[in-house]
Amino acid sequence: MANRLTITEAPLKLYDFDRLTTWIHNPLSSTVNCVEMLDAWNLFSDIWQAVKRDCSHFQAIEESNLSIYNKLFYSNNLPGIVPDDEHYIPEWNQDEIARLRGVLAAGLEMLRKNSR
């Protein structure tokens, strides 16, 4: 407690990479689960920050798609971000979905490369 930090335990977060892979490879699915997609993107971003090797493709595609990230972020309707009397429900066009698929596919590839 020298730094006056309080450590709390958070519930474990599980990621279903098989389900994510299925969604990425299913061009007929235009349903975006914003919570799951944002969680996956954040995980991939954290992995990139930790390893920073063999990840230049993920970094480039992530940085060129920050508008997609922001759309996911705001659509999670987090307290303090979206006013209590509002609820943001995004509309996704095919280009945005394709770009999201590209980012998540790059994240999965980075994960595979760095978990061997």
Domain span at residue 71 reads 33-113
Note whether residue 6 is domain-resident.
Answer: no
Note whether residue 45 is domain-resident.
Answer: yes
Note whether residue 1 is domain-resident.
Answer: no
How many independent structural domains does the chain possess?
1
Split at pLDDT 50, 70, 90, the class of 109 is: very high
Note whether residue 100 is domain-resident.
Answer: yes
State the DSSP string of the chain.
-TT-------------HHHHHHHHT-TT-----HHHHHHHHHHHHHHHHHH-SS-HHHHHHHHTTHHHHHHHHHHT--BTTB-TT--------HHHHHHHHHHHHHHHHHHHHT--
Note whether residue 88 is domain-resident.
Answer: yes
Note whether residue 9 is domain-resident.
Answer: no
Note whether residue 37 is domain-resident.
Answer: yes
Check residue 97 and give its pLDDT: 95
Condensed to tens digits (0 to 9), the pLDDT of residues 90-104 reads 999 999 999 999 999
What is the value of pTM for the model shown?
0.84
Note whether residue 4 is domain-resident.
Answer: no
